[in-house]
Amino acid sequence: MASVTIYVHLPQESVDVWAPVSAKHVRDDIYRIVDCRGEDEGVEFGNGSLERCRWQDDAEGRIQVAYEAVA
């Protein structure tokens, strides 16, 4: 299964910033993050975590953002 790019919030920033990370689609709107590309220390959700994602409008267009951890 190919990796896709989702975006993860960087909570330590003073404005909303989203970092691209590699993830694998698990089912429905759930993805497992497989590579944070060096952002692992500052992202809201890190490598190996399962996240629920939703589409969000961005200056670049529509992006898929992680918004909730899945147990």
Domain coordinates in residue numbering, the chain: 4-69
Measure Cα distances from 23 to 7, 10, 33, 50, 62 in Å. Answer: 9, 17, 4, 9, 17
Beta strands 4-9 and 30-35 are unpaired
Question: What is the pLDDT at residue 43?
Answer: 78
In this prediction, residue 44 carries a pLDDT of 82
Residues 8 and 56: their CA atoms lie apart, in Å, by: 12
pLDDT (tens digit, 0 to 9) for every residue of the chain, 71 residues total?
789 999 998 888 778 888 899 999 999 999 999 988 765 567 788 888 899 999 999 887 999 999 999 98
